Amino acid sequence: MINDGVQLAAGSSTDDVIAVLNELIGSYNITLPLSDNSTLTYAELSNATIIWILLAGFLVFFMHAGFSMLEAGSVRHKNAVNIMFKNIGTIAIGAICYYVFGFAFAYGTANSSESSSGFIGSGFYGLRDLSAGDRHNWFFQFTFAATGATIVSGAVAGRVQLAGYFIIASWMTSFVYPVVSHWIWS
């Protein structure tokens, strides 16, 4: 039994508990006192969370520049432009693949009555049916998926053809990273 007579059945899912808590929190005028005697409302705290997640995503995104410089310094001079193109291509291909399939495999569910399987998620393909308030999570997760592919880029720098690497990058951002993140965080 939770405040205001809201009950959860035995065996309720985590999503049910979170939905009830969000409903309860949203129904009260909750404020957080700050050290300067001002307050922070629940809505402002939610906006601050979104800003923080986006900022963290930007920082991870900028790691690609560092990886590019590291990779360019570890190959012969004639391959430096190829490395830069490969890293920009990784971001572009990673964004498209994670947008179309990756986020769905990581965090999607089949529909409201069924949850995703233990192996892989489904739903949210192309971010369809994802609320506008949750799209920042896509960006944050995309940056990590693309970073994972960029790390592989450094391992194979100068050792694999460009087309072959792009196939690997699309596989990693659309399937490998999403499935693992589904197992751990979904």
Question: Mean of the pLDDT values across residues 160-174?
Answer: 94
Helix (H) / strand (E) element for 2: namely: none
For residues 96 and 62, give the distance between their C-alpha atoms in angstroms, rounded to a whole number. Answer: 18
- What pLDDT is attached to residue 69? 93
- What's the mean pLDDT when you consider all of the chain? 80
pTM of the shown model:
0.71
Task: Please tell me which residue, 39 or 140, carries the higher pLDDT value.
Answer: 140
Query: Would you say 121 and 182 are in contact if contact means Cβ atoms under 8 Å apart?
Result: yes
| pLDDT at residue number 57 | 94
Distance between CA atoms of 13 and 17, rounded to whole angstroms?
7
Mean pLDDT of the 155-161 span: 88
Q: What angle do CA 58, 62, 65 make, to 5 degrees?
A: 165
Cα separation, 124 vs 105, whole angstroms: 8
